[in-house]
Amino acid sequence: THDTPCARALATPGEVLLIEQAPSGLFSSCETLAEVSPESYCAAPLRDEQGNNLGLLFAFDSRPHGLLPAAES
């Protein structure tokens, strides 16, 4: 299992992780989410040419929402 949304995003190659509503409810053991209480979460892993994880670009938002049509392509 992945105890944080960041760990889940890093484990999902080639995809953006979007949690449109209440990520704190999905990851109840994540202290950062408990402190921040975001309404949505989005993350994209940053990888090198060989597919090795270099980092993670992520954002919290105080509002629930999904991807805009331009962001889906």
Q: Render pLDDT for 5-45 as a digit per residue (tens, 0 to 9).
A: 888 888 877 788 888 888 888 888 888 888 888 888 899 99
Q: Give the DSSP H or E segment for 23.
A: helix 23-26
53 phi, psi to nearest 5 deg: -70, 130
pTM of the entire structure?
Answer: 0.74
Nearest to 26 by CA among 64, 57, 68: 64
Who's near 28: CB < 8 A, 6+ residues apart? 34
